[in-house]
Amino acid sequence: MSTADGIRIGTASWTDPEFIKAGWYPDNVKNDAEGRLRYYASQFPMVEVNATFYAIPRRSTVDGWAERTPDDFRFHVKANQVISGHAADPARLPEPLRELAYEADGRGRIRKPSRELRDAVIDAFVEVISPLRSKMGSVLLQLPSHVTSGPEQRAEIGRIIQRLSPLRTAVEFRNASWTAPGEREAAVEMLGERDAAWVCVDAPRVDVASAMPPIVEVTSPGLAYLRLHGRNTATWQGSRTVAERFNWQYSDEELGEWVDPVIDMAGAASEVAVVFNNNHGDFALRSAMRFGELLDGRGADAT
């Protein structure tokens, strides 16, 4: 498989402990952090970085990511939770940033960062991931499921995207209100004006606000994005662990539903990121490999 059609397939994280437990990594690298990334990058041409959501890494760590991957490898790096508006432990921030203002929840977590704090975290985040350079695909801004659509929310998301520039942002809306008539069009316009990607989603087909419908939007000519979370309706809400929530092995029929849309996305954007987030055991890895085979069967080159 090649990247001739600009379709890059991978998984959400290469460090997920489920991958090691499932035995996907060979014995000679499963306990070697450097070796795991090198091996992963020999199998897939892209990955999402999940660790940056929880803490801003050291510059040396990011240097290592760049050094251990091929020149044409692609990283899509998840924005820190302070940027996206999730509750965050202030102790995980670099020490100087902990003194900036925020509203705390009952557990002392950052619930509403001040603009000064959010912007400072954005600036620190952009600086630390700079070693990725040409390997940088986008910043994944995954919104909390409680963030509903509206003009104030669009304005702040647009401001965050501008602050992250010149890095491209991919925005994952996680509340179905963003797909309501008028709201979807407004969000598409806002993203398109900023060359940001709408993250298309495959999720359980269940009528709850946190389950986005399987719609397709391409808002940036440089990047289209698809994240597949599995379809486990029983564990989508109230699950105890991430592995439990995303416990779903896609069938060929389910994967096949996305073959034509992804090919169409590749016709509208120069690069398509297809990310499997069904990280239970080795399900995501197997789904990613199988989806590539299905695309190959349709004459669409991908990795």
Among 241, 148, 246, 243, CA closest to 201 = 246
pLDDT for 1 equals: 39
Residue 248 vs residue 105, higher pLDDT:
105
Report the pLDDT averaged over residues 4-30: 93
Q: Where does the pLDDT of residue 246 fall: very low under 50, low under 70, confident under 90, or very high at 90 and above?
A: confident
Percent of the chain, pLDDT > 70? 97
243's CB contacts (< 8 A; 6+ apart) are 18, 279, 280, 281
CATH 3.20.20.410 fits 7-297, yes or no: yes
The span from the CA of 255 to the CA of 202, in Å, is 10
Burial (0-12, 13-18, 19+ Cβ within 10 Å), 76: buried
Q: Where does the pLDDT of residue 33 fall: very low under 50, low under 70, confident under 90, or very high at 90 and above?
A: very high
pLDDT for 126 equals: 98
Judge whether residue 29 has pLDDT over 80.
yes
Q: Look up the pTM and report it.
A: 0.94
260's CB contacts (< 8 A; 6+ apart) are none
Report the pLDDT averaged over residues 249-276: 97
Taking only the tens place, the pLDDT of each residue in 135-165 is 999 999 999 999 999 999 999 999 999 999 9
Taking only the tens place, the pLDDT of each residue in 40-93 is 999 999 999 999 999 999 999 999 999 999 999 999 999 999 999 999 999 999
Judged by average pLDDT, the poorest of 70-74, 202-206, 246-250, 283-287 is 246-250
Judge whether residue 302 has pLDDT over 70.
no
- Whether 22 contacts 287, CB under 8 Å: no
- Whether 210 contacts 245, CB under 8 Å: no
Residue 243 vs residue 89, higher pLDDT:
89
Residue count of the chain, please give it. 303
